[in-house]
Structure 1
Amino acid sequence: MPEPDQRLFFLLQQAAHRLRVAADRRCLAAAGITTAQLGALFAVREGGLTQRELAARLGQRESAVTAMVTRLADAGLVGRSAHPHEHRAVVLELTAAGEEALDRVAPEIEEFNAQLHAVLGEEGFRQAAEAVGKLAAWPGP
């Protein structure tokens, strides 16, 4: 039996890059958004998030999220309203156009996941989702 590949970290990076590029192409073609913006829109859809909370949920720096939220707001996909208790904070809300963008991209994400199922098989897909979920939650060394 061959040794497990000792380059797992680099294989994960390569796979993540290829998957992100392929998914970005699909999302941009379907709804004019990237996968990073898609993740932000899904989080905002849940409601009541500030930019700081969105940054924490996405695991990104606040400055990066501020720039992304500005682009999403300029595109009319998210709205910003005054926070009821924090005078410097704003609450993000999904607009009707943001909801439409999520509706347009949904079939592409479904097809993308179907293709991953075809490559990995049902059990492999389940195991990969579980393993990647653990890695995403791992605080690191």
Structure 2
Amino acid sequence: MPEPEPDPRLYFLLQRAAHRLRTVADRRCLAAAGVTTAQLGALLAVQDEPDATQRALARTLGLRESAVTALVARLVKAGLVARRPHPREHRAVVLELTPGGRAALRAARPEIDRFNRELRELLGDDGFLCASSAMRDLAHWDPDASG
């Protein structure tokens, strides 16, 4: 039997899926931990990379520095992240989780686990692993890179 043709609407389907997943995850994370998924991603990145600068956070999240500046300002205002002077770069600041930020991550963990469990049930183990791998590849894809 011939292999089916790929759906030409893949990009549209990815956008719809991303929107649906973000909407559900935002609602759950806000209810459980008082943070959106964008804020949660930043908190996880700061946790994973101690002494990260806003520039490093922007690279990790794949966002423009101006967007990260606004995101960090909201996290600081909410008491989830603190800024302190960089030890070597006078214009840079280092980001660190506050006790409130660590508490938000702990509160969000059950929802993250639940979300992943539900996706694994929906897609099956093989589908979940395949989708995870494909999304990781797409997140790092650079069609303009030479090589």
Paired residue for 2:100?
Answer: 97
- Identity over the aligned pairs, expressed in percent? 62
Partner of 2:34: 32
Aligned partner of 1:42 among 41, 44, 50: 44
**Residue equivalent to 2:66:** 63
Residue 48 of structure 1 deviates from its aligned partner by 1.1
The CA deviation at 1:7 is 0.8
Unaligned runs of 5+ in 2: none
Measured after TM superposition, the shift of residue 94 of structure 1 is 0.5
**Corresponding residue to 2:89 among 66, 76, 86:** 86
Q: 2:111 aligns with which of 102, 108, 112?
A: 108
1 CA distance for matches of 2:143 and 2:109? Answer: 32
**Normalised TM-score (structure 2):** 0.93
1:115 Cα deviation from its structure 2 partner: 0.5
**Partner amino acid, structure 2, of 1:9:** Y
Task: Write out aligned runs for 1:120-139 (5 A).
Answer: 120-139=123-142
**Equivalents in 1 of 2:65, 2:82: separation in Å?**
17
Cα distance in 1 for partners of 2:103, 2:86 equals 25
Separation (CA, whole Å) in 2 of partners of 1:132 and 1:123: 14
Distance 2:130 2:45 in 1: 25
How far is 1:140 from its partner? 2.9
Alignment: residue pair count: 141
Runs in 1 of length 4+ with deviation above 6 angstroms? none
Task: Please give the alpha-carbon distance, in whole angstroms, between the structure 2 residues aligned to 1:3 and 1:64.
Answer: 38
In structure 2, the residue matched to 1:4 is 6
TM-score normalised by length of structure 1: 0.97
Cα distance, 1:119 vs structure 2: 0.5
Partner of 1:20: 22
